[in-house]
Amino acid sequence: MDNRPIGVFDSGVGGLTVVSEFFRELPGEEIIYFGDTARVPYGCKSKEIITKYSTQIVNFLLGKNVKAVVIACGTVSSNCFDYLTQRFDIPMLGVVTSGAYSCCDTTKNKKVGVIGTQRTIVSGAYEKIIKELNPEISVYSKACPLFVPLAEEGWVENEVAEKTAQIYLRDFADYGIDTLVLGCTHYPLLLSTIKKAVGNINIVNPAKSAAVKMKELLAQKEINSQNEATNNHTFYVSDNSGMFEKICNLVLGKTYEAKVIDIEQY
């Protein structure tokens, strides 16, 4: 038993979609969240910079005495997971592996689509893991970078979001996919808009299986919390223009006040 918090981080507000699944699946676990709102987006940056930023964030979270770390960012998970797990001696979970497992379980016709940031798609991480799990699955990938600023702005269902989704996602109809993975944690914010654009196919949100995987990991390491429920969560950001609270309310149904820290110090 270990009542210490779990650290969760993302480049911005996207990781809140992961926190929301953790609240549902692990109600007794305390969360310390960090959103790098001053340096978002990560998806168009180099692997070196993303590695530097994510290392600083894990250092920060370790200073908060977390018992495990969740990389609630598809971009960091697909580019830096190996580096971070080798560098830091703490149980760590990324969203890419969980997403890849889920989509392999979900697809029936063995044709899946993956959408994510530029850096995630270029890394080929999803394709690699999916092919390892089942070489018969065909993977069609597409970077949808504009979904991130739309989500950060809270423009998730208006005509700009709808038009953007139509343009990005129209090719998937020709590929005949039956499953689409939301490979960026910002994208579940645009879920209804994405659904409208792709029609009646399965949508995989990797956050759901990440929460289940974390539950298994905590049990296996015997570090799960004794609490049945807690509301003792803390949110940190690297800049706060007021948007964080707004999106927090949208995703978690509750406004948590975010504390601003200088992440460059870590």
So which residues are the catalytic ones? 73, 184
Is 40 a binding residue for ligand DGL by CB under 6 A? The answer is: yes
Residue 68: which of 55, 58, 81 has the closest Cα? 58
Q: Determine contact, residues 27/52, Cβ cutoff 8 Å.
A: no
Is 93 a binding residue for ligand DGL by CB under 6 A? The answer is: no
Residue 95: which of 73, 80, 114 has the closest Cα? 73
Is 7 a binding residue for ligand DGL by CB under 6 A? The answer is: no
CA torsion angle 182 183 188 191 (round to 10)? -30
Q: How far is the CB of 230 from ligand DGL (least distance, A)?
A: 25
Is 20 a binding residue for ligand DGL by CB under 6 A? The answer is: no
Q: Determine contact, residues 136/163, Cβ cutoff 8 Å.
A: no
Interface mask (CB under 6 A) for ligand DGL, residues 173-202, using x and -?
A: -----------xxx----------------
Is 11 a binding residue for ligand DGL by CB under 6 A? The answer is: yes
Scanning 34-42, 128-136, 189-197, 241-249 for contacts with ligand DGL by CB under 6 A, the matching segment is 34-42
Structure-token pair, residue 119: 């850096």
How many residues make contact with ligand DGL (CB under 6 A)?
A: 18
Q: Determine contact, residues 19/189, Cβ cutoff 8 Å.
A: no
Beta bridge mates, 138: 111
Q: Determine contact, residues 140/111, Cβ cutoff 8 Å.
A: yes
Residue 112: which of 141, 133, 132 has the closest Cα? 141
Residues 106-145 interacting with ligand DGL (rule: CB under 6 A): 116-117, 120
Q: How far is the CB of 186 from ligand DGL (least distance, A)?
A: 4
Residues 57-86 interacting with ligand DGL (rule: CB under 6 A): 73-75
Interface contacts to ligand DGL, rule CB under 6 A? 10-12, 14, 40-43, 73-75, 116-117, 120, 148, 184-186
